[in-house]
Structure 1
Amino acid sequence: MDLRIFTEPQQGATYDQLLAVAQATERLGFDAFFRSDHFLAMGDGEGLPGPTDAWLTLAGLARETSTIKLGTLVTSATFRHPGLLAVQVAQVDQMSGGRAELGLGAGWFAREHEAYGVPFPAKRFGILEEQLEVITGLWGTPVGERYTFEGTHYTLTDSPALPKPVQPRVPVIVGGNGPRRTPALAARFATEYNAAFPEIDEIGGMFGRVRAVCEEAGRPADELVYSAALVLCVGRDEAEFVRRAEAIGRDPQELREHGVAGTVDEAAETLRRVAAQGASRVYLQVLDLADLEHLDLVAESVIPQLG
């Protein structure tokens, strides 16, 4: 199982803090460093010192790491024009030597759009679908050819479709818990389907819907990676676990029910349950970015139990 570190910088983080987490992620052998793409703190916190831009951050990390994958879970389709986003991600892929991955979603947090003057259309699924078509279309156009697209929301005319990523196909992650439209987008455009903070016993059913849509569309279902994102909170013993839960303002029992949480043995058992549901990859949501010992503990005491 691939284990990836997933951060929420809008809750409060500097670039230097993110760099420290990313470098620890690489040093400890995790597969990837991912971050959310938000511009406003959620809950009661102020998110000081303020938001950081996801793709600007990843560009910096591309030059200060060597092996880990780098990506978003997920970029909101409301934040960037697909033509510009295709350029940004391709450039980060070049800067990292082919380590960029793009998670893309429709966007949901209306308040952050209001706070920064970003339009928040009532209907966004069609925007997301066209963005996926444009971005993959631009990357997939051979050098020397032109790309044209005319949709309801976007029109591109005779684009040179440059620059190209280093990877022949930048991994595209489509996630969400919708029963019909999200699986259809994943089957059509994605290399990975992600279940975002699901009930663990429901993960297999979510994957099953995506697999069924793939088969209906004539795409082998096993072409996709199937993953889940879950909050991480682990301690060597009960006291350390409770201390970490308090540090992120979460109830220990709730964490045990919905996350990779508890003692190291409990965390390993939860990950085995997730694997049994069909996930080959888990994004571990790390909420206390100053607690690098948390990552050490998972690498030293949880991962070895997974075999």
Structure 2
Amino acid sequence: MDLRIFTEPQQGASYADQLRVAQAAERLGYDAFFRSDHFLRMGDGSPLPGPTDSWVTLGAIARETSTIRLGTLVTSATFRQPGLLAIQVAQVDDMSNARVELGLGAGWFEREHAAYGFPFPPKRFGLLTEQLEIITGLWSTPAGETYSFEGEHYTLTDSPALPKPVQSPLPVIVGGNGPARTPALAARFAAEYNTSFPEIADIPERFARVREACEAIDRDPDSLVYSAALVLCVGADEAELARRAAAIGREASELREHGVAGTPAEAVELLQRLKGWGASRVYLQVLDLSDLDHLELVAAEVMPHV
């Protein structure tokens, strides 16, 4: 099973903070370093140092790492025009020597849009659908040919469809917990389906819906990666677990119910259960980026057993 570190830098992390975690994750053998794509802190607390742009950050981290995969979970379709996003992601893929993955979603946090002047239309699923079609269309257009698209939200005319990512195809992740439209998008466009912070008991049903959507369009359901994103809070003993839970403003009992939490043995048991349900990848949401010992513990006591 792939274990990936997933961070929320809008909660108060500088570029240096993120780089330190990414380099530690690479050294410890985690499969990837992913980050959210947000521009405003959620909940109480200091807004400092302020947001960092996900693709600027990942481009810089790409030049300071060598093996770990990099990506977003997930970039919001409301933040960037699809042509620009296709160029940005392809460039970071080149900068990383083919280590980038694009998670793309519809966006949901209205307040950050108001804070920075991003339009926030009430209906965004059409934006997401067209962006997925455009980005994958640009990347798959043969060199020397042009790409055009006319939709409800975007029009592209005779684009040279450059630059190309190094990876062909570059993996696209579609995530969400919707019962019908999200599985259909994943089946049509994605290399990976991700369910983020679901009730753990609901995960098999989420995966089953995506498999059904694949079968409906004659796609092999096993051609997708199935993954989940869950908060991480593991302690070598109850005191360490309680300390880590308190550091992120949560209770250990609640984290045990909703995340990869508890002792290393409890974390292994949950991850093995997810593997049995079809998950081959788990994104471990790390909320305290100063606690690199947390990553060390999971790498030493959990990773070898999954």
Q: Map of 1:1-307 to 2, 5 A cutoff?
A: 1-306=1-306
Q: What TM-score, normalized by structure 1, do the two folds share? A: 0.99
Write the letter of the residue equivalent to 1:9: P
**Structure 2 counterpart SS, 1:84:** helix
State the shift of 1:84 in Å: 0.3
Alpha-carbon separation, structure 2, partners of 1:254 and 1:273? 19
State the number of aligned residues. 306
Alpha-carbon separation, structure 1, partners of 2:255 and 2:183? 27
**Structure 1 counterpart SS, 2:60:** helix
State the shift of 1:47 in Å: 3.1
Any idea what the Cα deviations from partners look like across 1:161-211, whole Å, max 9, x if unmatched? 000000011100000000000000000000000011111121111000000
**Structure 2 counterpart SS, 1:213:** helix
Alpha-carbon separation, structure 2, partners of 1:75 and 1:48? 22
State the shift of 1:219 in Å: 0.6
State the shift of 1:305 in Å: 2.3
Deviation beyond 4 Å, 4+ runs, structure 1: none
Write the letter of the residue equivalent to 2:57: T
**Identity, % of aligned pairs?**
74
Alpha-carbon separation, structure 1, partners of 2:263 and 2:219? 40
Structure 1: unaligned runs, 5 residues or longer: none
**Structure 2 counterpart SS, 1:118:** coil
Alpha-carbon separation, structure 2, partners of 1:189 and 1:41? 30
Write the letter of the residue equivalent to 1:201: A
Q: What TM-score, normalized by structure 2, do the two folds share? A: 0.99
8 Å Cα contact 1:201/1:277 also seen in 2 = no
Alpha-carbon separation, structure 1, partners of 2:277 and 2:25? 25
Q: Which moved more, 1:81-90 or 1:266-275?
A: 266-275
**Structure 1 counterpart SS, 2:226:** strand
Q: Which moved more, 1:251-260 or 1:41-50?
A: 41-50
**Structure 2 counterpart SS, 1:34:** strand
8 Å Cα contact 1:231/1:285 also seen in 2 = yes
Alpha-carbon separation, structure 1, partners of 2:45 and 2:79? 23
Alpha-carbon separation, structure 1, partners of 2:265 and 2:84? 45
State the shift of 1:35 in Å: 0.1
State the shift of 1:27 in Å: 0.2
**Structure 2 counterpart SS, 1:134:** helix
**Structure 2 counterpart SS, 1:46:** coil
Alpha-carbon separation, structure 2, partners of 1:302 and 1:282? 13
Any idea what the Cα deviations from partners look like across 1:7-61, whole Å, max 9, x if unmatched? 0000000101100000001000000000000000001123310000000000001
